[in-house]
Amino acid sequence: MSSSLKTKNSIKKKKYGGILPSILRSLVAENNVEKTLNLYYCKLTPKEQNSWEEVLRIFEWFKSQKEYAPNVIHYNVVLRALGRAQKWDELRLCWIEMAKNGVLRTNNTYGMLVDVYGKAGLVKESLLWIKHMKLRGIFPDEVTMNTVVRVLKDAGEYNRADRFYKDWCNGRVE
């Protein structure tokens, strides 16, 4: 067997490990998020984060670093975690902080907010994000449009979902 084939096979067999297991072991041993993150200084993906409290602690740690520059991806991760946990007051505070820091919202931001509010059963509030988006001059992309349609369908509002989709296809969002 060639060495390149052996390497490919070993990569296929290798399970996810990365730096996360080391970080988790250190967190258990130290019970100090700041010290652990200072040791590893890595970015965790949403799948690697367990709770909204941890997400906020890690985000606060990132923001405390001199070289940190606020960005929409980090805010989106925090907003999603807060929305999934239905921590609406904290989500609003994060939204306000995002604006104060000059971080521009994207289709991904609005689509994610539509999604978390919709999954929480807050369909009216979910759709208000589309209104907000429109007021800011941002037109929903395909993913955001699909999210709105799914939220409306999940709420049993098939006619509204169909109308939203058709309007979106014609370049209108009402």
Q: What is the pLDDT of residue 13?
A: 39
Token digits of residue 11? 């990569």
3-state secondary structure of 51: coil
Token digits of residue 115? 């999604």
pLDDT at 155 over 80: yes
pLDDT at 27 over 60: yes
The predicted-structure confidence for 124-154, as pLDDT tens digits, reads as follows 999 999 999 999 999 999 999 999 999 999 9
Q: Which residues contact 138 (CB under 8 A, 6 or more apart)?
A: 105, 106, 107, 110
Q: What is the pLDDT of residue 141?
A: 94
Q: From CA 174, how far away is CA 172, in angstroms rounded?
A: 6
Question: CB neighbours (10 Å) of residue 12?
Answer: 7
The predicted-structure confidence for 80-136, as pLDDT tens digits, reads as follows 999 999 999 999 999 999 999 999 999 999 999 999 999 999 999 999 999 999 999
Q: Which amino acid is at 108?
A: N
Q: What is the pLDDT of residue 68?
A: 86
Using only the alpha carbons of the chain, give its radius of gyration: 20
- Give which of 103, 114, 105 is closest to 143, Cα–Cα: 114
H-only helix segments in the chain: 3-13, 20-30, 33-40, 52-64, 72-84, 88-100, 107-119, 123-135, 142-154, 158-169
Handedness of CA 8, 9, 15, 21 (dihedral sign): negative
